[in-house]
A and B are shown apart, each in its own frame.
Chain A
Amino acid sequence: MTENRVGVYICHCGHNIAGTVDVEEVALWAAGLPHVAVSRDYKFMCSSLGQELVEADIKEQHLTHVVVAACSPHMHEPTFRQACERAGLNPYLFEMANIREHASWVHPNDRAAATDKAKAIISGSVRRVLELSPLEPLRAPIHETTLVVGGGIAGINTALEIANAGHPVVLVEREPSIGGHMAQFDKTFPTLDCAACILTPKMFEVGMHPNIKLLTYSEVEQVDGYVGNFTVRIRKKARKINTELCTGCGDCWGRCPAKVVDNIYEAGIGYRTAIYRQFPQAVPKYPVIDVETCIYYKNGKCKACEKFCPTGAIDFDQEDEIILMQAGNIVLATGYDLFDARRIPAYGYGRLANVFTSMEFERLTNATGPTGGKVVLRDGVTAPESVAIIHCVGSRDKNYNVYCSATCCMAALKFAHLVKEKTNAEVYNFYIDMRTAFKDYEAFYIRLMEEGTHFIRGRVAEVTDAARIPGEEGKLIVQAEDTLVGKQRRIPVDMVILMGAMEPKDDAKEVAYRFGIGCSEAGFFTERHPKLDPVATMSEGIFIAGACQGPKDIPATVGQGAAAAARVLSLIGQGVVEIEPVRAVIDESRCSGCRICNNLCPYNAIDYLEEEGVSRVNAALCKGCGTCVAACPSQVIQGQHYTFDSLMSQIEGLLYDVGNNQNGHVRVMEPEPV
């Protein structure tokens, strides 16, 4: 066996590490560790010059192992693995020592302690890297089909981009029609073009596209597998309509006697029937029977829709269908929920009739909405003479959500304009800060100020109907501190609109778990990197787009949809994907066949071979968690890259200066019993 020659590289990371850890001293110290042939410190190891330094040393100094002490392996492990590979060193003989996130950044006021800890971390990594073995990544073909979950503007755009490139897409939507929140809007800021006019052609394109299989009124129940080869179980809920026969003529919902409040599409201010199509431009065009409100499912009578259906498409006995599919990549575009304004009782939503949510106002002002686009009070006839728009309802508020929902300022300006245009009412915007970033948004704000909309800087304390002076009688009084004037103001208005926060979907956490991705503290899906990889997730082959990743407006959502599609297309283009070879391997010559590991495996990846009397790991199913490795009573399952020896050595290294191990003396481990 050749002599071990380890190269150790300490990164300054500008001042991020060097400002706290004495990197020169650490590099000098590391040079004295056993088997270390080269030890250097450098300003930015991840720069091309830093990488070239490693590459040159591997070639010229004949390094057998490399340790880079810098940031988290989640940041730059792939970078340095590639550098090793370029220089002809197996990338799995590289180890990252995390002395930034785990040392310099968390012990900023204690240079000595941070330096000591960096030494311990590097000592552990050097000991560990010596125990690593060269590995080859597993290669798996990429299934061409992509699953897109969520049929809002993000999912629609992703699906179209991939389908237009010639690859099959399955688009799953929970509601009976695609379109999402955008289909509910009337106008879009800052151009004020009609949302339906720009959205419905795309919806139609999705419905007609030969490469897109559309599954509406469906939900993903289970996801198994890995990048390139996911197996997905989808529940297609029973529409109670035979879509082969249905023409979408509308005779059925025209005759349905059950009128119910439409809490989804009409945001609770309009009605639909029990058999319904969400909106006229719905894709697909077929209606759906809501079994909760349908009279037939309550008392077994009615069937009006069946009687009047000219094609006999009503099927009361239709049952849910389970669809199993293979997908190479998955894009989640599951959108957001609007903040429930009832959670702030002081604003009176649900108690004071003329307090509206932003989505209610969208429907109110929409030409296809319940009032035909007339801006009126809850009585349905009176036009308001004054309207207050309250910003940051549930956003930028530590009682609810600390984040800024990013879209509400602009939506509030849009509302102010529409109110002014339709009713000529006085409009009061109560804001904390006006946030009109991005192209042409500020110009819209200036336009609104010129239109004569009032802007009052201050968070509203209360909306009340308790009048104090005659002018307030019969009005809603909005009380706020005008922080620019430094005075309390009470403004009587006829209508109040609450600009609710964009929140994660109520089931975002379950969905994240089902797809094996993470959620932020607020509940939005976590991206791989907040700046440089905003649509990928920590799970290979699973991407995110739109408001499920964080509050954003339509242009940003569309951009992310296209970005996610581009990421999927690049994987499909590669044809095969490399998977980390972190897998369990059983030494069958030493396996006693006790089968303890068989039942512990969460993926049923361990088979018992009856004839040989031993267990064997199916590498395609194994995900490398190591549960079986730890449980094997004979210690004959090896967890590749996280072997027993490598972890035991790392522990020794981490504790090089404690107990009896002081002065760099590391005790030799007893051989494990065979």
Chain B
Amino acid sequence: MAHDYNEFNPAWEERTPVIIGLLCNWCSYRAADLAGTSRFGYPATLRDLRIMCTGRLDPTFVVKALREGADGVLVMGCHPGQCHYDAGNYKAMRRMALLRRTLVQLGVHPDRVQLAWASASQGTVFTEMVKNMTETIARLGPLNWQDTAFDESQHKEMEAIRG
């Protein structure tokens, strides 16, 4: 493996971090395309899928991804005020705020689920975001939510965040 995630967290002994990316068709998916055509390298942690707009973000998608084994979910859309559909990204913002609070109650660190913006010309912003998120997830360690959702120790860790 090109990246040694053990440096961040020894729990990455067996596998590498996996992040599911939900990218909007108009800005962030194109930013990812631009990162490709510009040959900006980034860690192979992100596996993305395309939705037309972050307004399509059903919180279930995020929960589903975590349950299926992803260590984090990165939702990216157009910058506020630049949504192709007027304001879908604002709706995503509201849903994400609520979802992150809910996930904390379910034992998931809120930094595992992030919302960010990149316009179609911002291949660099997209690349940086993937790098940052990968590092965050690398530090947090594997989620393995299928096994740990009802693990007492995880819940205690979250109590501090819950406040």
Contacts and interface: CB of A to CB of B under 8 A. Distances in A.
Given A73-B50, A106-B35, A659-B146, A600 B91 contact: yes
A629 to B, nearest CB: 6
A108 B50 CA distance: 23
Contacts of A389: none
Given A600-B91, A626-B51, A660-B69, A102 B36 contact: yes
A113 B61 contact: no
Given A102-B48, A651-B64, A660-B69, A627 B2 contact: no
Given A627-B56, A654-B49, A538 B122 contact: no
Contacts of B61: 647-648, 651
Interface string B37-61: 1011110100111111101111111
A636 to B, nearest CB: 13
Interface string A381-393: 0000000000000
Interface string B118-131: 01111000010000
A602 B44 contact: no
B151 interface: no
Interface stretch (B81-89, B132-140, B154-162): B81-89
Given A109-B2, A513-B82, A624-B52, A100 B36 contact: yes
Contact of A627 (B30, B35, B50, B91): B91
Contacts of B29: 74
Contacts of B44: 103, 106-107, 110, 113-114, 116-117
Contacts of A103: 44
A72 B36 contact: yes
B12 to A, nearest CB: 13
A661 B68 contact: yes
B121 A625 contact: no
B113 interface: no
A655 B51 contact: no
Interface stretch (A156-164, A355-363, A472-480, A516-524): A516-524
Contacts of B27: 518
B108 interface: no
Interface in A598-652: 600, 602-603, 623-627, 629-631, 639, 642, 644, 647-648, 650-652
Contacts of A538: 26, 30, 120
B105 to A, nearest CB: 20
Contacts of B95: 630
A284 interface: no
A644 B82 CA distance: 25
A120 B47 contact: yes
A223 to B, nearest CB: 12
A466 interface: no
Contact of B84 (A73, A105, A516): A516
Contacts of B55: 600, 625-627, 630
Nearest to A627: B55
A642 B20 contact: no
Interface of A: 72-74, 98, 100-103, 105-110, 112-114, 116-117, 120-121, 124, 128, 513, 516, 518-521, 526, 538, 582, 600, 602-603, 623-627, 629-631, 639, 642, 644, 647-648, 650-652, 654-655, 658-661, 667
Interface of B: 1-2, 15-16, 18, 20, 26-27, 29-30, 32-33, 35-37, 39-42, 44, 47-53, 55-61, 64-65, 68-70, 81-82, 84-88, 91, 95, 119-122, 127, 144-146
